[in-house]
């Protein structure tokens, strides 16, 4: 499953001082249950 | 016309404006000459300063490309990001990729968490290799709740002739039941000394960002 969200890729040009393009696309953020051991491993690298 | 004369005239005629040789505009306010605000630009400040070159509102954004840059001319960039990140996995990274390409950086992360309501304070130092300059290593344990706050203030030396180094001072909260707060000092190095940086992408390895991105160059 997972969470479906609309994501955007933005291009900003500093010479034109504006956003020159926006691309929208769909991404799915996976549902991963919280596991304290895995989390601590990620945090502490152990 | 001497400045004393100009001052006397300005005092006498409140709407008198005098232009100095370096094009700063003076105006008379209540009989006193002063530099008109609009006449001051960062380039006129001899001690150097940051000039904002990009200001982007982020709404469910996975990446932002900043184009039209010239690292050799601009020399240094400052990147500020604040807002919220939505992810469902951890850790995720906010990376800066010069010229939109994947690079290999060596980076050292010092990250610290300190007491939350149910967490104990701790520190940790790690070393890793990433696909870009690291702005933030994002942690979040309560992946089912709403997005967590982030703040990044990073400086990148962009000039060729030197290894490019990015220093990031960053924060993220982990609003889980343990309410941990992470503060990072991150140093990343790109050994390339010859490729001019003409753009860069700032992206999240997974998830989306809401908030604001500011980019400055040094003058």
Of B53, B89, B124, the CB nearest to A14: B53
pLDDT tens, residue by residue, B185-197: 999 999 999 999 9
State the smallest CA–CA distance between residue A46 and chain B in angstroms.
10
How close B200 comes to chain A (CA, Å)?
Answer: 10
Interface of A with B in 1-46 (CB under 8 A): 2-3, 5-16, 19-20, 27, 29-32, 34, 36, 39, 42-45
CA neighbor of B158 nearest in space, from B107, B213, B215:
B215
Q: How far apart are CA B105 and CA B111, in angstroms?
A: 18
- Whole-angstrom Cα distance, residue B201 to residue A9? 10
Contact B139 A43 (CB under 8 A): yes
pLDDT in tens, chain B (219 residues): 565 665 665 566 555 555 555 556 677 777 777 766 665 665 555 566 899 999 999 999 999 999 999 999 999 999 999 998 887 777 788 999 999 988 887 878 777 666 666 667 778 788 888 899 999 988 765 555 556 789 999 999 999 999 999 999 999 887 655 567 888 899 999 999 999 999 999 999 888 899 999 999 987
Nearest to A5 among B56, B69, B208 (CB): B208
Interface test mutation site (partner B, options A12, A21, A40, A45, max chain B beta carbons within 10 A): A12
Give the span between the Cα atoms of B90 and B106, in whole angstroms. 20
**B35 beta partners:** B26
How far apart are the CA of B80 and the nearest CA of chain A, in angstroms?
15
Separation of alpha carbons B29 and B11, rounded Å = 8
The partner residue sitting opposite B62, judged by closest CB among A8, A14, A42, is A8
């Amino acid at each position: 499953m997972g969470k479906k969200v609309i994501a955007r890729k933005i291009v900003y040009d500093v010479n034109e001082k504006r956003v020159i393009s926006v691309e929208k696309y769909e991404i799915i953020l996976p549902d991963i249950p919280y596991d304290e051991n895995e989390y601590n491993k990620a945090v502490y690298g152990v | 016309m001497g400045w004393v004369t100009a001052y006397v005239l300005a005092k006498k005629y409140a709407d008198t404006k005098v232009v100095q040789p370096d094009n700063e505009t003076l105006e008379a306010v209540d009989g006193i000459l002063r530099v008109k605000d609009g006449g001051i630009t960062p380039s006129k400040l001899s001690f150097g300063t940051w000039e904002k070159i990009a200001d982007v509102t982020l709404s469910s954004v996975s990446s932002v490309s900043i184009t039209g840059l010239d690292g050799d001319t601009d020399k240094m960039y400052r990147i500020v990001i604040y807002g919220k990140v939505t992810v469902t996995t951890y850790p995720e990274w906010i990376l800066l990729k010069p010229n939109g390409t994947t690079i290999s950086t060596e980076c050292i992360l010092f990250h610290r968490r300190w007491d939350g309501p149910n967490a104990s304070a701790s520190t940790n130092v790690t070393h890793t290799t990433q696909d870009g300059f690291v702005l933030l290593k994002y942690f979040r344990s309560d992946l089912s709740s709403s997005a967590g706050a982030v703040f990044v203030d990073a400086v990148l030396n962009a000039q060729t002739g030197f290894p490019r180094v990015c220093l990031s001072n960053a924060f993220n909260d982990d609003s889980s039941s343990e309410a941990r707060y992470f503060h990072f000092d991150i140093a990343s190095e790109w050994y390339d000394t010859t490729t001019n940086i003409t753009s860069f992408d700032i992206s999240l390895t997974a998830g989306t960002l809401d908030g604001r991105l500011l980019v400055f160059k040094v003058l």
